[in-house]
Amino acid sequence: MHEEAGLLLILMAAIGLIVVLVVKFRVHSFLALMLASFVVGAGAGMPLSSIADSFEKGMGGTLGFLAAVIGLGSILGKMLEVSGGAERIARSLLSTLGEQRASWAMMLVGCIVGIPVFFEVGFVLLIPLIYVVARQTRLNILYVGLPLAISLMTVHCMLPPHPAAMAITQLLGADVGKVIVYGLIVGLPTAIVAGPLWVKLVCKRHEPASGQGFAAAPASLTATQAMPGLGLTLLVILLPLLLMVGKTLVTMSLPQGSGVYQLMNFLGNPLTALAIAVVFAYGALGLYRGLGMAELQRLTEQSFTPLANILLIIGAGGAFNGVLIDSGVGKVLASTLSQWDLNPILLAWFVAGLMHLAVGSATVAMISAAGMVLPLLDAMPGQNREIVVIAIGAGAIGWTTVTDSAFWVVKEYLGVSLGEALKKFTVGTLLASVVALGMTLLVSQWV
């Protein structure tokens, strides 16, 4: 008993070390996770060489599959960005719903455009359109911008092929197609409640903007005739999701020996699905629109530049999880949590939210939460792992506050005070997290 208590204290010390290093001393999350891994291994009595081997195995095992998937997803997002596809979707929805329903239109834009692009990229990409709509309609810029920000954050945390969502799907051994379906079922109501409905409650519709955000607006929008068609853009975005969900449906309904089963098992693999989507995007958004191979190569190289940071963080998170398992800490944690009779969904949600508040990174929060919940799932074979993935994502949406770079992106581009950003954006993400938890618990009763 004393030995088990000691191992749990080591885990708590390692988590505390991550928080202190990242928040107080501004150490990069990759280095903080690496140091925490060695603290767990050494504290649990692992030989030093075994700690290094365990770290290497955990990092390699996590990135072996994810590096290619994340790279392909980044190319897809870059093609959508440079072609004007994201703006096409936004303008089409605004035209259909009307500028007076701009909050609903921007919420839907975030849910669609957020699938292949990172939060910061999607928000900065669409901020010129937010300024234009706010000017033309005299709407409060928060009334238009907050639904976009919260829906982007929701998709970012809950829906593969986003890196963190894909990483914990793999780490927990969940089916990616089911995670996508459940993520859409949970994510859309979450974005509605914490987006258009929330801003209607807390923002005056025609409140004058401060002017700071308008001044920061980029110079111009893409000419309409230069943008790809709406249907083509949607196909590029949804193609990998359709293939991955199609694989799940086929493998659930057809015998393994059938030709269709084997074909969809291949086409619906995340790696294959994203590769097909990238080739299609190269043709539809690149070559067909006059870009040469040299330009496509340049755009591809540009899409890889921002990935080093997120790949290292995800890899270190996988390594931390590997050390937890090899040191025996994970087994003790699972045994302790099972004795407490905690609901794994609530536990996953709470840990992810707490870690996001502490370290200011939804990605680190999700990876850390998955590593702590995994031993419990191994001891509970009947637990639906896809639902736990969604619960972790739901927890990570909340507490997007001053420790998170996403908070400052939203605050500065919308030109609002710190207090207003906290009251309306941070509280909005907390509302989204709670709504997503409720929806996750509801869906868990049906699957």
Q: Within its chain, how far is the Cα of 206 from the centroid? A: 32
Are the CB atoms for 167 and 66 separated by under 8 Å?
yes
- For residues 318-328, b (16+ Cβ closer than 10 Å) or e, as one string? bbbbbbbbbbb
Is the per-residue pLDDT at 413 higher than 90?
Answer: no
> What is the percent of the chain where pLDDT is above 70?
95
pLDDT at 161 (0 to 100): 87
Domain that holds residue 229: 2-444
* Contact predicate 178/446, CB 8 Å: no
How many residues comprise the chain? Answer: 447
Assign 106 to helix, strand or coil: helix
Q: What is the pLDDT of residue 127?
A: 85
Residue 131: per-residue pLDDT: 85
d(Cα 289, Cα 12) in Å, to the nearest integer? 54
* All residues at 6 or more sequence positions from 213 whose CB lies less than 8 Å from its CB, including other chains: 131, 141, 145, 413, 414, 415, 416
pLDDT in tens, 252-275: 888 888 899 999 999 999 999 999
Residue 161, classed as helix, strand or coil, is: coil
For the chain, how many structural domains are there in total? 1
User: Can you give the pLDDT at residue 395?
Assistant: 96
At 150 the pLDDT is 96
Higher pLDDT among residues 50 and 139, named by residue: 50
Residue 218 has pLDDT above 50, yes or no: no
* Residues 25-70: tens digit of each pLDDT: 989 889 999 999 999 999 999 998 899 999 999 999 888 888 999 8
Round the average pLDDT of the chain to a whole number and report it: 88
Of 74-88, 159-173, 216-230, 231-245, where does mean pLDDT reach its minimum?
216-230
Query: Could you say which DSSP state residue 46 is in?
Result: -
User: What is the reported pLDDT for 209?
Assistant: 45
Confidence of residue 335 (pLDDT cuts 50, 70, 90): confident
> What average pLDDT does range 128-148 have in this prediction?
86
Between residues 437 and 116, which one has the greater pLDDT?
A: 437
Confidence of residue 213 (pLDDT cuts 50, 70, 90): very low
Structure tokens at 209: 């903007």
Would you call 61 helix, strand, or coil by DSSP?
helix
Comparison of pLDDT for 413 and 214, the residue scoring more: 413
> If you average pLDDT over residues 227-243, what whole number do you get?
93
Measured CA to CA, the distance from residue 145 to residue 179 in angstroms comes to: 28
Give residue 387's pLDDT.
Answer: 97
pLDDT of residue 355: 86
Cα gap 223→274, rounded to integer Å: 29
Q: Inform me whether the pLDDT recorded for 417 exceeds 50.
A: yes
